[in-house]
């Protein structure tokens, strides 16, 4: 019985893709501590004033994300020692001084929501499974007529590239958000 309860607790922790920690970001000479949920209004100011922002940023973000392929999954993780889905997206964008929310739920409220047909490289792709709220996020790496390929941190397999042609992701895709133009 004790094992069953332990297993159930572990599954619950893995099922939700968000961290319960505060996030500390260092930008220029200032350290800013954000609570677990970073709202778009706070993040947009940092994003809009980013000196690295340019037309090729989405390609750079995708290349950076692909450099993390095969890194392990770790609930609450934001480093190469292990990532959860939102921690992975958060750390990739942070590498370009772009502050995005730390949880997949808040990422769904961040940026510009798009129709699936308008998805492009570097956009966020968000999912929900049996839950009523978004609980998974990835970064789009390629778009063709009938599928979207995206990189994400999966609880089974770590950082991998998946596609919406896989039935699980096809059935659970909820929205696309553009964080960069």
Q: Is 17 a catalytic residue?
A: no
Task: Give me Rg for the CA atoms of the chain.
Answer: 16
Annotated catalytic residue, options 17, 20, 56, 152: 152
Provide the 3-class DSSP secondary structure of residue 97. coil
Q: Is 56 a catalytic residue?
A: no
Q: How far is CA 123 from CA 2, 27, 111, 159, in A?
A: 43, 23, 9, 17
Torsion of CA 16, 91, 165, 128, to 10 degrees: 20
The maximal CA–CA distance of the chain, rounded, in angstroms, is: 56
Q: Is 20 a catalytic residue?
A: no
Instruction: Please give the Cα distance from 15 to 89 (Å, whole number).
Output: 17
Annotated catalytic residue, options 17, 20, 56, 136: 136
Tokens of 179: 């964080």
Annotated catalytic residue, options 17, 20, 56, 85: 85
Asked if 104 and 97 touch (Cβ cutoff 8 Å), the reply is no
Residues annotated as part of the active site: 85, 136, 152
């Amino acid at each position: 019985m004790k094992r069953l309860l332990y297993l159930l607790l572990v599954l619950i922790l893995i099922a939700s893709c968000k961290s319960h920690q505060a996030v500390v970001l260092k930008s220029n000479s200032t350290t800013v501590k954000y609570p677990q949920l970073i709202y778009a209004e706070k993040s947009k100011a940092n994003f809009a004033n980013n000196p690295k922002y340019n037309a090729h940023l989405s390609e750079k973000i995708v290349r950076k994300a692909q450099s993390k392929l095969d890194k392990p999954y770790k609930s609450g993780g934001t480093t190469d020692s292990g990532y959860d889905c939102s921690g992975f997206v958060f750390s990739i964008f942070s590498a370009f001084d772009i502050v995005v929310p730390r949880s997949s739920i808040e990422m769904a409220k961040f940026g510009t929501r798009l129709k699936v047909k308008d998805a492009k490289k570097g956009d966020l792709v968000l999912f929900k499974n049996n839950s009523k709220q978004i609980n998974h996020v990835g970064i789009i790496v390629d778009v063709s007529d009938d599928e979207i390929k995206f990189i994400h941190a999966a609880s089974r397999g770590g950082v991998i590239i998946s596609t919406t042609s896989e039935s699980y992701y096809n059935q659970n895709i909820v929205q696309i958000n553009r964080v960069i133009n």
